[in-house]
Chains A and B, each alone.
Chain A
Amino acid sequence: MIIRAATSQACKLALCLFTSLLAQDRSARVLVWGGDAEGGAPYVEADPANPARVRGFDVEVAERIARGLGDRSARFVQVQWSDIDLSVERGDFALGLSGVEDTPARRAQHAVTIPYFEFREVLAVRPADAGRIHSLADLRGRRVGTLGSTIAYTILLAARDSTGLIPISYDDDVHPYADLVQGRMDAVLLDHIIAQRALRRRGGSGFVILPQPIAIGHYVGVLARADSALRDSMDAVLRESMRDGSLEQIFRRWRVWDETQATLFDRVLRGETVGTTGPAGAAQAIAYLPSLARAAAVTLLVSVLSMALAVIVGLALASGRVYGSALLRWLTTFYVEVIRGTPLLLQLFVIYYGLAGFVRLPALLAAILALGLNYAAYEAEIYRGALEAVPRVQLEAARTLGFTELQILGLIRGPQALRYALAPMTNDFVALLKDSALVSVITVVELTKQTAIYATNVGSWIVPGLLCAAVYLAMSLPLARLARRLERRWRVA
């Protein structure tokens, strides 16, 4: 009884604490804002002195807005950069801020603040190419990296059609520059702040930033579509901070202030409409369809070639496990266990980035290798089971007829094992088709990645999601059908 009473008291106390915390959020008027602190300097990054806190110019802008709205303090919520719009609309936080770009699509889908910072899309190239490359037009047939779901990526997509360059999308803004220095990329197009930061981190060498910007863009805060009243209040605070010099101080502290910001402030305060200038406007939804088709082809290509590799290596491994010496059996078992026991994502990183010091594999090849070698471990187990399922007495009968071991494998054991293996292999191929989405982490834009880019740009997952699902099904269903037909044909009697 005492225990129950105490438990019930504790529950009540916890409930009180929880509700009071919620109330405190309202009464103490905390501005909850979201951004991406992963590699986010100088926008938002974990404070080296206290990793539980964040610092950066966007952190200070958020705090300035919070102060301007009353007695508010600002509380940071971590969110993947490409998901800021969706999260703010879901209500995870009131304001999204960390280098959020001003685009027509974003303006159409959400409530967006006035621009508070002007950035330049700049090209970075290796020093040896600085004399040859001056604009996107000089990059025909060359690989140009950038962050996915950005204005820069939209510009590159448009340039692919007009100048024939090859856009490569990354999930982060560090690896494009690493790959540029290593020769995997020929250029990187990103915001000048990011380019300058990358150059500082490399001690000012490895690549150069071309002085002529490719486009001009602006950072804004993004709010849920329904929060336009709050947005208007924030706009007022931003204008005030432009007038009173507090925004300039923030930018100067973070060494991102330049004269273009002063011009931007003037134009904003005069009430001018400030838009993005550059070679490409916002991409329409329809513009993504060819990219989606191309991405579906990449998914199919990666899956088919990976599966072919998995089958070949899997057969070799299974043969090693069934026919090999003790050492070979141990080695093949070791391979199978290590590969099955570690994440595919890790294997992708190791093959693409980890091996870069020894061999610089192209992304597509690295993707096929990683997926193929990973699935080989699973295929090997299927084949081993299938080989062992062929009745031993048939193998003895074959020996009495004078067949060699190799002939027995090729003419009698293998063909029958293939039938046993067909159903699980089909299963694996369908799984691989979907696992191929993981290769986007090493810059291969396949179906899921392209859909994510598309969804981010149109601000909704519904149409892109359905479209993507339909394409996956269109690839996997006929395969399952074919496998069922083969099984039926082979099942004779």
Chain B
Amino acid sequence: MTTALLVIEGLCVRHDSRDILRSLSFEVARGEMVALMGPSGVGKTTALRAVAALQPFDAGAIRIDGFALAPGPVPPETRLVPLRRRVGFVFQSHALFEHLSARDNITLALRHVLGKTRAEADAVAATLLASLDVGGRAEAKPGQLSGGEAQRVAIARALAPDPALLLMDEPTAALDPARRTALAATLRGLCNQGRSLLVATHDAEFAGQTDRVVTLA
């Protein structure tokens, strides 16, 4: 194992004087796929959200590729730019922008955040959609996509800015067994490109296909 990309030390999250996460510590190395396991309500999603700075934490430290998050309120977005460049997030509900086509869901950030031209952004989107086997659905609106298609578009959207770490929340929840196996293969491919993955799941079979399992209890 080389240097860790993500380091979590003693992470504590309290809500209404209830401990949601108590002193969680683990690391994710570059190119490693880690499953975050545990029953529902144990704080898997909370941990991912804390790493993505969508949620404050009360104690501990999070470091992503040299960028540190400290306990306390979530910093303003202007200070989170380095984090946003390093971390992608695939939500359980996919959270696609309902008014945009699959392609525009992917190109929006490329054009408006990273400043790429429409042609450059379209090329990236076409490559990503094709590699995830949804190349033919570029024009479809989210409402017209199946659950599996929407998930792959969401993965493509998160990958488009080329983040070093991809966070995924329950990616197999809406997939049949065949799709689960295909997804594991897809994610493995991403790791082989040097990307790190942290996947929250309660699917033991899927977790078995990752490099390492961190269990929350």
Q: Does chain A have a CB within 8 A of B57?
A: no
In the complex the two chains form, is B95's CB within 8 Å of A490's CB?
A: no
Looking at the complex, which one of A399, A407, A416 makes contact with B99 (CB distance below 8 Å)? A416
In the complex the two chains form, is A400's CB within 8 Å of B141's CB?
A: no
Interface of A is mostly: helix
In the complex the two chains form, is A397's CB within 8 Å of B91's CB?
A: yes
In the assembled complex, the CB of A417 is this many whole angstroms from the nearest CB of chain B, namely: 10
A400 with B54, Cβ < 8 A, contacts A407-B112, A492-B141 known: yes
In the complex the two chains form, is B54's CB within 8 Å of A416's CB?
A: no
In the complex the two chains form, is B113's CB within 8 Å of A405's CB?
A: no
Q: Does chain B have a CB within 8 A of A357?
A: no
Contacts of A400 in B (CB 8 A): 52, 54, 84, 87-89, 158
Given the complex of chains A and B, what is the CA–CA distance between A415 and B105 in angstroms?
14
Given the complex of chains A and B, what is the CA–CA distance between A415 and B100 in angstroms?
10
Given the complex of chains A and B, what is the CA–CA distance between A223 and B99 in angstroms?
66
Given the complex of chains A and B, what is the CA–CA distance between A419 and B112 in angstroms?
22
In the complex the two chains form, is B99's CB within 8 Å of A403's CB?
A: no
Given the complex of chains A and B, what is the CA–CA distance between A398 and B88 in angstroms?
11
Per-position contact with B for A385-398: 1 when CB-CB < 8 Å, else 0? 00000010110111
Looking at the complex, which one of A396, A403, A405 makes contact with B95 (CB distance below 8 Å)? A396
Q: Does chain A have a CB within 8 A of B108?
A: yes
Looking at the complex, which one of A401, A412, A416, A492 makes contact with B161 (CB distance below 8 Å)? A401
In the assembled complex, the CB of A139 is this many whole angstroms from the nearest CB of chain B, namely: 56
In the complex the two chains form, is B144's CB within 8 Å of A396's CB?
A: no
B96, B108, B143, B157: which has the most chain A beta carbons within 10 Å?
A: B108
Given the complex of chains A and B, what is the CA–CA distance between A398 and B99 in angstroms?
13
Per-position contact with A for B46-90: 1 when CB-CB < 8 Å, else 0? 000000101000000000000000000000011001001101110
Q: Does chain A have a CB within 8 A of B97?
A: yes
Count of chain B residues near A, Cβ 8 A: 29
In the assembled complex, the CB of A491 is this many whole angstroms from the nearest CB of chain B, namely: 9
Interface of B is mostly: mixed
A416 with B98, Cβ < 8 A, contacts A404-B77, A411-B112 known: yes
Give B143-173 interface residues, CB cut-off 8 Å to A: 143-144, 157-158, 161
Q: Does chain B have a CB within 8 A of A2?
A: no
Q: Does chain B have a CB within 8 A of A493?
A: yes
Q: Does chain A have a CB within 8 A of B191?
A: no
In the complex the two chains form, is B99's CB within 8 Å of A401's CB?
A: no
Q: Does chain B have a CB within 8 A of A402?
A: yes
In the complex the two chains form, is A394's CB within 8 Å of B85's CB?
A: no
In the complex the two chains form, is A393's CB within 8 Å of B113's CB?
A: no
Contacts of B158 in A (CB 8 A): 400-401
Contacts of A412 in B (CB 8 A): 97, 99, 108
In the complex the two chains form, is A403's CB within 8 Å of B143's CB?
A: no
Contacts of A492 in B (CB 8 A): 141, 143-144
Per-position contact with A for B104-135: 1 when CB-CB < 8 Å, else 0? 00001100111000000000000000000000
A405 with B77, Cβ < 8 A, contacts A394-B97, A493-B144 known: yes
In the complex the two chains form, is B109's CB within 8 Å of A399's CB?
A: no
Q: Does chain A have a CB within 8 A of B181?
A: no
Contacts of B109 in A (CB 8 A): 401-403
Q: Does chain A have a CB within 8 A of B193?
A: no
In the assembled complex, the CB of B76 is this many whole angstroms from the nearest CB of chain A, namely: 9
Given the complex of chains A and B, what is the CA–CA distance between A403 and B98 in angstroms?
17
Contacts of A401 in B (CB 8 A): 84, 108-109, 113, 157-158, 161
Given the complex of chains A and B, what is the CA–CA distance between A397 and B93 in angstroms?
10
Count of chain A residues near B, Cβ 8 A: 22
In the assembled complex, the CB of B142 is this many whole angstroms from the nearest CB of chain A, namely: 8
In the complex the two chains form, is B144's CB within 8 Å of A397's CB?
A: no
Per-position contact with B for A181-193: 1 when CB-CB < 8 Å, else 0? 0000000000000
In the assembled complex, the CB of A474 is this many whole angstroms from the nearest CB of chain B, namely: 32
Contacts of B84 in A (CB 8 A): 399-402
Given the complex of chains A and B, what is the CA–CA distance between A394 and B108 in angstroms?
13
Given the complex of chains A and B, what is the CA–CA distance between A60 and B202 in angstroms?
96
Given the complex of chains A and B, what is the CA–CA distance between A328 and B87 in angstroms?
34
Given the complex of chains A and B, what is the CA–CA distance between A394 and B109 in angstroms?
13
CB closest chain-B residue, reference A490? B99
CB closest chain-A residue, reference B88? A400
Contacts of A398 in B (CB 8 A): 97
In the complex the two chains form, is A402's CB within 8 Å of B89's CB?
A: no
In the assembled complex, the CB of A389 is this many whole angstroms from the nearest CB of chain B, namely: 11
Given the complex of chains A and B, what is the CA–CA distance between A401 and B84 in angstroms?
6
Contacts of B52 in A (CB 8 A): 400
Looking at the complex, which one of A399, A411, A490 makes contact with B77 (CB distance below 8 Å)? A399
In the complex the two chains form, is B144's CB within 8 Å of A402's CB?
A: no
In the assembled complex, the CB of B62 is this many whole angstroms from the nearest CB of chain A, namely: 15
In the complex the two chains form, is B143's CB within 8 Å of A402's CB?
A: no
Contacts of A396 in B (CB 8 A): 54, 89, 91, 95
A403 with B97, Cβ < 8 A, contacts A397-B91, A411-B108, A493-B141 known: no
Contacts of B78 in A (CB 8 A): 404
In the assembled complex, the CB of A402 is this many whole angstroms from the nearest CB of chain B, namely: 4
In the complex the two chains form, is B95's CB within 8 Å of A394's CB?
A: yes
Give A24-45 interface residues, CB cut-off 8 Å to B: none
Per-position contact with B for A33-76: 1 when CB-CB < 8 Å, else 0? 00000000000000000000000000000000000000000000
B113, B144, B158: which has the most chain A beta carbons within 10 Å?
A: B113
Contacts of A402 in B (CB 8 A): 77, 81, 84-85, 109, 113-114, 161
Given the complex of chains A and B, what is the CA–CA distance between A170 and B46 in angstroms?
67
In the complex the two chains form, is B112's CB within 8 Å of A403's CB?
A: yes
In the complex the two chains form, is A393's CB within 8 Å of B98's CB?
A: no
CB closest chain-A residue, reference B81? A402
In the complex the two chains form, is A419's CB within 8 Å of B99's CB?
A: yes
Given the complex of chains A and B, what is the CA–CA distance between A398 and B78 in angstroms?
14
A391, A419, A492: which has the most chain B beta carbons within 10 Å?
A: A492
Q: Identify 29 residue pairs between A and B in the complex whose beta-carbon atoms are under 8 Å apart, listed by A's number.
A: A391-B93, A393-B93, A394-B95, A396-B95, A397-B89, A397-B91, A397-B96, A397-B97, A398-B97, A399-B84, A400-B52, A400-B54, A400-B84, A400-B88, A401-B84, A401-B108, A401-B113, A402-B77, A402-B84, A402-B113, A403-B109, A403-B113, A411-B108, A411-B112, A412-B97, A415-B99, A416-B97, A492-B144, A493-B142
16 extra A-B contacts, CB within 8 A, seeds A400-B84, A401-B113, A411-B108: A391-B95, A394-B96, A394-B98, A396-B89, A397-B96, A400-B52, A400-B158, A401-B84, A402-B109, A404-B78, A415-B99, A416-B99, A492-B141, A492-B143, A493-B142, A493-B143
